[in-house]
Amino acid sequence: MDATDFLRDSFRRLHQALENVTAELTTDQLNFTPDAEHHSISWILWHAFRTEDLVRSGMLQKQPDRWSAEGWAARLGMPEKGQGTGQSSEDAHKVRIEDHAAFIDYARAVAADTDAYLASLTPEDLERKLPWPSAPGGEDTLAAVIGNHVMTHVFGHRNEIYWLRSLQGLKGSPN
C-alpha cells in the first residue's frame, strides 16, 4: 500500500465512522451540548466536513468549496461562511443540524471529492511543500497537510462525538 492508498483508506474509514456514529441519533441528541463551553455533535460534524471541504477545495485545489458553490448553508439553515475556528461558544451553539439526512448528503459529497482528489495524487505530489503557518518553519508537505492537519484533526473530533454520546447515556464508540 502506498501513501496515497493509505490516505484514501483512512479517509474512507473516518467518513464511515462519522456517518455510523451519528446515524441513529435524534435531532435533540445531535444538538445536545453538556454546558455553555462545549459544542454539539452537530457543530462537530459541520466543522469537520467544512474544514475538509475548505482545505481540499480552496487551499489545495484552488476551487470553490462545495458548501458555498451548491448553497448548502441555505439548504440546511447553517452558517454560510467559515467552519467554526475561532467562533464564540454562543455562535457555535447556533449551529444545528435539523435535517441529518440532508447533511449526510453534503458529507458524502465532500468524502467523494476528497477520495477523487487523493486518487489523482502521485508520490511526488505528496512530497510537494506548501505554506502552512502552524507547521514548523511555516510550510509542510502536501502529505502532512492532508494527513496531519486535516485527517488527524477530524479523527480527534470523532472522539468528541463518542464522548458526547456517552454523556447522553448512549454507547460512546459503536465498536
What's the structural domain count of the chain?
1
Average of pLDDT values for 80-99?
86
> How far apart are the C-alpha atoms of 58 and 66, rounded to whole Å?
10
Question: What is the domain-level CATH number for residue 161?
Answer: 1.20.120.450
Question: pLDDT tens digits, residue range 57-75?
Answer: 999 999 999 999 999 999 9
> Which DSSP string do the residues of 108-158 spell out, in sequence order?
HHHHHHHHHHHHT--HHHHH-EEE-TTSGGGEEEHHHIIIIIIIHHHHHHH
Q: Is 96 exposed, middle or buried (0-12, 13-18, 19+ CB in 10 A)?
A: middle
Would 76 be classed as within a structural domain? yes
Would 175 be classed as within a structural domain? no
pLDDT at 84: 73
Question: pLDDT tens digits, residue range 110-146?
Answer: 999 999 999 999 999 999 999 988 888 999 999 999 9
pLDDT of 11 > 70? The answer is: yes
Q: Kindly state the DSSP code that residue 77 receives in the 8-state scheme.
A: T
pLDDT of 174 > 80? The answer is: no
> How far apart are the C-alpha atoms of 150 and 155, rounded to whole Å?
9
Average of pLDDT values for 143-151?
93
Would 173 be classed as within a structural domain? no
pLDDT at 149: 87
pLDDT at 107: 98
Mean pLDDT score of the chain = 93
Would 158 be classed as within a structural domain? yes
The CA-CA-CA angle for residues 3, 154, 60, to 5°, reads 60
- Domain carrying residue 60: 3-167
pLDDT above 90 as % of the chain: 85
pLDDT of 175 > 70? The answer is: no
Would 91 be classed as within a structural domain? yes
Would 115 be classed as within a structural domain? yes
**How many C-beta neighbours within 10 Å does residue 56 have?**
22
Would 172 be classed as within a structural domain? no
Q: Is 84 exposed, middle or buried (0-12, 13-18, 19+ CB in 10 A)?
A: middle
Would 174 be classed as within a structural domain? no
Global pTM reads 0.94
